[in-house]
Chains A and B, each alone.
Chain A
Amino acid sequence: MGLLSKKDRKLILDPLADDNPITIQVLGICSALAITAQLKPSIVMAISVLFVMGVGNVVISLMRNIIPSKIRIIVQLIVVATLVIIVDQVLKAFAYELSKELSVFIGLIITNCIIMGRFEAFALGNGPWKSFLDGIGNAAGYGVILIIVGFFRELLGSGTLFGFKVLGDSVEKTGLYAIGYENNGFMVLPPMALIVVGIIIWVQRSRNKALIEEN
């Protein structure tokens, strides 16, 4: 990798696992839970956040020396809101059904704590290229969790992936359903999102003891 130095690679790879924005930094939980009942909206959400984070981090980083620190929150909000409006309009134009499904949660990317958190913690103090990598890395870390949660909730909850019946037909009793398998309807309900994320945290922290919190 000639393009990325070792430090740059760390910026991208760290948030994917050991410094994950959702499970370790506890940022951006709201949208992560609400739209993960199926895989498709999860992926669209992940891509939207990737776009907003990457561009937003660069913009803020370019402006970091001229933003008065007293009004920086409002400046950040305006930058994010503009980017989110772009995402929203694009989705409305090219994927109207999906944008109806995501409803207010596209708008809520504005107050997604990951974005504000990374602006505050990183983009305000670093150059554009590094901020871009940091933005992409964190958004990817966020997306990975979203996709994992969406995958399990759709697979176990409705027996489909992207709407394809991967486990066979539950009405005609083919595939797994022929031997008595049943969908767990509970998985598509909101509370299970919380419990699935809880289990992901459990697995991650059992593998890496350094992440365990003090009581």
Chain B
Amino acid sequence: MEHLELFFKSIFVDNMVFAYFLGMCSYLAVSKKVSTAVGLGAAVIFVLTVTVPLNWLLDQYILREGALTWLGDEFADYDLSFLSFILFIATIATMVQLVEIIVEKFSPSLYNSLGIFLPLIAVNCAILGGSLFMQSRDIATFDLALNYGFSSGIGWFLAIVAIAAIREKIRYSNVPAPLRGLGITFIITGLMAIGFMSFGGMLTGGDEETPSLDTNTENIGIEAQDENLNNTEKETAQVEVSELTQQ
């Protein structure tokens, strides 16, 4: 259940692009055609799924306060979390490089479709952002970190494929000249983000939004009761009227 919740939350509610604007540079630059967008999106899913759990391990066993206890009691006081930026980005850059080499060796066709995008990904904010959010939100277990990496990758994938599809069609529309290209893409992304905000109420539990949702349902319950009361009043009134007419 926890997994399912995190999965949908990372795709829709905390969507990388629409809620946090991560990876906007490549999102805007590589979204002119659906086919290239699918390639980049797939590469992002792949790299996020690999790097987030890896950085989770680093965070748990090297970086956070007291993480070095496994080396011996004298290391229990160390807090290396200030090094997390440099370690995370080093992991990401190395992994991207490694993934590139492995994919090239074992699946040349995949390499040809992903190849050009892989180096771009090392500097995609969505990847580093994934690791940093994993750290700041204290994701508890390795499984959850894996899940988080994978699902936020899917969220990014959905976003870029959707905008690429819209941009392919919008070429036939009569957009005001100064807005053409970049400007209209920004505004469309804004409108899509408004749409995605409606997913905010989809999940309850573990959030600040929960209490407000609860009060909403309570209010609805009270209203429903009010309606019931009104109905009974009407009924009694009708009964009275019918009695009067009989008389």
Q: Say whether, besides A88-B82, A104-B132, A107-B132, A201 and B122 are in contact (CB < 8 Å).
A: no
Residues on the B chain within 8 Å of A194, using CB: 21, 186-187, 189-190, 193
Contacts of A192 in B (CB 8 A): 190
Q: Of all chain B residues, which has the CB nearest A106?
A: B85
Within A183-215, the residues touching B (CB, 8 Å) are 189-195, 197-198, 201-206, 211-215
The residue on A at minimum CB distance from B189 is: A194
A100 to chain B minimum Cβ distance, whole angstroms, is 10
Q: How far is the CB of B186 from chain A (nearest CB, A)?
A: 4
Main secondary structure of the interface of B (DSSP, over half): helix
Assess whether A103 is in contact with B28, with CB atoms less than 8 Å apart. no
Asked if A73 contacts B122 (CB within 8 A), the reply is yes
Partner of A26, one of B29, B136, B175: B29
Please classify how large the interface on chain A is, using the bins under 10, 10 to 19, 20 to 34, 35 or more.
Answer: 35 or more
Distance in Å: Cβ of A35 to nearest Cβ of chain B: 9
- If A111-B123, A191-B194 touch, whether A205 touches B22 (CB-CB below 8 Å) is no
B119 interface hit (Cβ, 8 Å):
yes
CA distance A29 to B124 in the complex (A): 11
The smallest beta-carbon distance between B156 and chain A, in angstroms, is 12
A110 in the interface (beta carbon within 8 A): yes
| B125 lies within 8 A of A108 (CB) | yes
Given known contacts A78-B90, A81-B86, is B25 in contact with A30 (CB within 8 Å)?
A: yes
The complex places the Cα of A28 from the Cα of B125 at a distance, in Å, of 9
Q: How large is the interface on B (under 10, 10 to 19, 20 to 34, 35 or more residues)?
A: 35 or more
Given the interface pairs A29-B28, A85-B85, the reply to whether A190 lies near B18 with Cβ below 8 Å is yes
- Interface membership of B89, Cβ < 8 A: yes
Q: How far is the CA of A192 from the CA of B193 in the complex (A)?
A: 9
| In contact, A29 and B21 (Cβ under 8 angstroms) | yes
B6–chain A nearest beta-carbon distance, Å: 18
- Cβ of A27 under 8 Å from chain B: yes
Given contacts A26-B25, A195-B186, contact A201 B179 (CB under 8 A): yes
Instruction: Point out the residues of chain A lying under 8 angstroms from B41, CB to CB.
Output: none
- For chain A, what secondary structure do more than half of its interface residues adopt (helix, strand, loop), or is it mixed? helix
Does A121 belong to the interface (CB within 8 Å)? no
Indicate if A174 sits at the interface (CB-CB under 8 A).
Answer: no
Contacts A33-B21, A88-B85, A111-B123 given: A198-B186 contact, CB under 8 Å?
A: yes
Cβ contacts under 8 Å, B122 to chain A: 73, 77
User: Bound complex: CA of A84 vs CA of B84, how far in Å?
Assistant: 11
Residue from A78, A89, A193, A195 whose CB has the most chain B CB atoms within 10 Å = A195
A116 at the interface (CB under 8 A from B): yes
Q: Does A156 contact B (CB under 8 A)?
A: no
The reply to whether A81 and B187 form a contact with Cβ atoms under 8 Å apart is no
* Smallest Cβ-Cβ distance to A212: which chain B residue: B177
- With A189-B197, A191-B197 already in contact, the answer to whether A34 and B20 are too (CB < 8 A) is yes
Which residues of B192-247 have CB atoms within 8 Å of chain A's CB atoms? 193-194, 197
Q: Contacts A111-B124, A113-B123, A189-B197; is A30 near B85 (CB within 8 Å)?
A: no
Q: How far is the CA of A85 from the CA of B81 in the complex (A)?
A: 11
Q: Closest residue to A114 on the B side, CB-wise?
A: B25
Cβ 8 A contact of B127, one of A27, A82, A111, A191: A111
Q: Is the CB of A110 within 8 A of B182?
A: no
Interface contacts beyond A74-B90, A195-B190: sample of 9 additional A-B pairs, CB < 8 Å, sorted by A: A30-B20, A30-B21, A74-B94, A78-B90, A107-B128, A111-B124, A189-B197, A202-B178, A214-B181
Which B residues fall within an 8 A CB radius of A?
18-25, 28-29, 82-86, 89-90, 93-94, 97, 119, 122-125, 127-129, 132-133, 136, 171, 175-184, 186-187, 189-191, 193-194, 197
Q: Which 10 A-B pairs have the closest CB atoms?
A: A213-B181, A194-B190, A198-B186, A205-B178, A191-B193, A29-B24, A104-B132, A195-B190, A113-B25, A198-B187
**26 A-B pairs with C-beta separation under 8 A:** A29-B24, A30-B20, A30-B24, A73-B122, A73-B123, A74-B93, A77-B123, A78-B90, A81-B85, A81-B89, A85-B85, A85-B86, A88-B82, A104-B129, A104-B133, A107-B85, A108-B129, A110-B89, A113-B25, A191-B194, A191-B197, A194-B186, A194-B187, A195-B186, A201-B178, A205-B183
